[in-house]
Structure 1
């Protein structure tokens, strides 16, 4: 009999232990979530890189020896800034000569005008220049002087252009990406002396998965998070959708989407990586629940003093984890759900 009681005691102890351990480790079947107000966004997210809207390759218009190079890679430049120049001693000399010739021709023309004026003085003076009151000799002399002056002016313009071709002037405000030559080197008109990234418009090119591209359209707002700036968000706008797919190294098919940054970083660096979240739709101060809390047919299990009751709701904007509740629930109500 003692053995029987001992056996029963062991069985009861083991049964109690099993029930206890199962009760302790078994999680609750339901979780509770409270309906709360918050801003909610539906987005399409993708990685990408920062760049200038355009890349500008600067060449000299003529060949020659590089005399000066005033910038290096990483420098910021302003539109209209002098960047580099070729040896231009001959062009400077030619310009001085043509300018001297122009001054001489202008003086000769003024002398002709003065002679006509003095000859016609008392009968209209300068008012007769170019009129029928001029003599044939006066007209011929004046015309020859005017042509000589115009030709001299044209020669000055040619000399100025020749001298200008010896200089590189920045056509945009931007960042120097490339500047590989050094003064003293001979360069040709085909050599890229300086490469600039346009800083007037900074773009972020996002790689959108082909499955999401139908949701993206021009003008949509974008939040861009650059890896180099931690959690700082840069506002942007969809500027262009490239009508050509590309394959990534992992084999994914993507569509490039260009995003204009509205508040780009002041210390712009081309090639920075980051994440873009294109805002498809959003709701401000909306009632929300976790997505898992809304079941099939848009029903939720509401916790009430009488127990739990099924309630039909109308939903709206959906983020990755939350969903907007348009009607059917009030702020502060509690909902049961199985995650």
Structure 2
């Protein structure tokens, strides 16, 4: 009976002892980083929208095609726009100053005739006044000559006014009709959806014969072969992220490999729904084959240190305590942390043995 009790006691002691893991601090490198998720995007990637509503009549490109800035992506039915443009062209031609030279020439003839009569009446007035000064003729004749001169002067001024006024009207009508033609031509060009960049067509979101509107995208275009990372970082970590920090990413398409990037832009507004900030990062060396919208996981390196005193993070109690081998809790000063390790700045040496209770 006594032997059985001793055996049970040994088993209990052995069981209790097995619940405690032991380790000691070691000197090695440590890197502190923050986690971010994200996707790969093409440089200058954007969704293409139509400026008008209508029916697609042709799509001259397919996914994977490279395009130049201004190349057509989609053609929308525009018969009404064509007719409006033709009508505006007719109006512009009719209102052109060159098409109304006959009207101007007619008024020029009237001006010339009025000027001839004015000169003639002026000479008659001067002659009549000289005669009157010599007591030849009558005052009534002088007055009649003055009246004829004033009438000719008025007629001449009216002829000039009519000519200048017609010229202004023609110039205004020509400019107005020209602008209407420009507007109509621009509206007509809106029925052809074009690329804004030199790039690659990554997606066509509509089919021939479907309707398009100004609210829904019709295609996705971006630079060919030039990609960057769009990351989402938690608001609790954003204050520690800076431009130029290293980023190490992993992709499902490249299992077991990590690729280096660098933070190039931090957007200064938080997404209220996800409570995260958007960060752009550029590849240091781009993977050989990648595509837009591939998902990734990233670690943004905040700081790193060589030859640091390190313990497993799981051995840390209450953030700044450890359990010594003699079951004594000891306060420590911590430094850098990653997901598995923590730096000890004070309170332990490599000779110390620490313990971690089993969960």
1:284 shift after superposition: 4.3
CA positional deviation for 1:158:
2.8
Distance in 2 (CA, whole Å) between partners of 1:109 and 1:218 is: 73
Alignment of 1:135-150 (within 5 A): 135-150=160-175
Tell me which moved more, 150-159 or 195-204: 195-204
| 2:333/2:344 contact within 8 Å kept | yes
Whether 1:189 and 2:223 are equivalent positions in the alignment is: no
CA distance in 2, matches of 1:89, 1:260: 44
Counterpart-to-counterpart distance in 2, 1:88 and 1:292: 68
The 3 A distance-change label for structure 1 pair 191 and 322 is closer
The question of 1:275 aligning with 2:275 is answered no
Q: What secondary structure does 1:228 align onto?
A: coil
Shift of 1:274: 1.6
Structural mapping, 1:278-297, within 5 Å:
278-279=300-301, 281-285=302-306, 287-291=308-312
Question: Following the alignment from structure 1 to structure 2, what is the Cα–Cα distance between the partners of residues 81 and 320?
Answer: 50
Residue 242 of structure 1, aligned match among 266, 271, 282: 271
Please state how far the C-alpha of 1:56 moved relative to its aligned partner. Answer: 2.6
| Structure 1 CA distance for aligned equivalents of residues 158 and 347 of structure 2 | 99
Query: CA 1:277/1:60 → structure 2, altered by over 3 Å: closer, same or farther?
Result: same
* 1:35 partnered with 2:27: yes
| Whole-Å separation in 1 of the counterparts to 2:160 and 2:58 | 56
Q: Distance in 2 between matches of 1:134 and 1:338?
A: 112
- Structure 2 counterpart of 1:4: none
Q: Provide the rounded CA distance (Å) in 1 between the counterparts of 2:239 and 2:272.
A: 12
Distance 1:90 1:159 in 2: 11
Alignment of 1:14-163 (within 5 A): 34-36=26-28, 38=29, 40-50=30-40, 56=47, 58-64=49-55, 66-75=56-65, 80-88=70-78, 91-92=81-82, 95=85, 98-99=88-89, 102=92, 105-108=96-99, 135-163=160-188
Distance in 2 of aligned mates of 1:226 and 1:109? 72
Asked if the contact 1:203–1:258 (Cα under 8 Å) also holds between the matched residues in 2, the reply is no
Q: Structure 1 residues 186, 257: CA separation in 2 closer, same or farther (over 3 Å shift)? A: closer
Secondary structure, aligned partner of 2:335: strand
Indicate if the aligned counterparts of 2:313 and 2:342 stay in contact, CA closer than 8 A.
no
CA deviations 1:207-241 (Å, max 9, x no partner) are 85xxxx43334854554333334322333355353
Alignment correspondent of 2:118: none
* TM-score normalised over the length of structure 2: 0.55
Give deviations 1:79-121, integer Å, cap 9, x for gaps.
Answer: 54421113446645654664465466143478959x98xx99x
Partners of 1:290 and 1:322 within 8 A in 2: yes
Q: C-alpha distance in 2, partners of 1:135/1:284?
A: 91
Q: Is the 8 A contact 1:41 1:319 kept in 2?
A: yes
Change (3 A) 1:292 1:276: closer
Structure 2 CA distance for aligned equivalents of residues 318 and 191 of structure 1: 47
Q: Structure 1 residues 293, 158: closer, same or farther in 2, change over 3 A?
A: closer
The TM-score with structure 1 as length reference comes to 0.57
Higher Cα Rg, which structure: 2
Long gaps (5+) in structure 1: 1-25, 121-131, 246-254, 302-310
Query: Equivalent residue for 1:167?
Result: 192
Partners of 2:72 and 2:195 within 8 A in 1:
yes
**Cα gap change, 1:32 to 1:314, in 2 (>3 Å):** closer
